[in-house]
Amino acid sequence: MVEDPIDLIRLEGDGNSIILRITGALVGEFVVDTPFIRGTLKTWISPEDLRQWRQALDSLHAGQDIAWREGKRAPWLFIELDEDDDRCHVTIKDYSMSLTTVTVTVPLADAWFDDAYRRLDLVWETWPMTED
């Protein structure tokens, strides 16, 4: 049975969005949409990536900036919190294919975290991944 895509990461607001859409087991794409730029970037997702995303969420929820998948042969994701208001600066760096970096500013309300953990759990439930 083919499963519908699941947005593992969905940061959006003020006309900007960055989404990491999981389209199948171990397969996904970053989707960036702003009034200025639009683009997609295919990526692979490993079980270790998902475990590290949970750790990154925990750190972000505790008020720390995060770097997810930094140093890997996959797009890197950085989220920097804006101390002055409820916003964050989200950067995707692709060092392996397009050699492109994009940064988008989006709102980040406290309610976002519950949804982010729920999305992660849904990915695990839909595509149970094991490292064989």
72: DSSP letter: S
Strand-strand pairing, 87-94 and 76-82: antiparallel
Q: Is residue 100 part of a domain?
A: yes
Full residue range of the structural domain in which residue 32 is found = 6-126
- Summarised one tens digit per residue, pLDDT across range 64-122 is 999 999 999 999 999 999 988 799 999 999 998 889 999 999 999 999 999 999 999 99
Lateral strand order in the sheet of 76-82: 66-68, 76-82, 87-94, 100-107
Q: Is residue 132 part of a domain?
A: no
Secondary structure of the chain: what % helix, strand, coil (to 5)? 25, 45, 35
User: What CATH code is carried by the domain that includes residue 30?
Assistant: 3.30.2450
Q: Is residue 66 part of a domain?
A: yes
- Summarised one tens digit per residue, pLDDT across range 18-75 is 999 999 888 999 999 999 999 999 999 999 999 999 999 999 999 999 999 999 999 9
Residue 131 pLDDT exceeds 60:
no
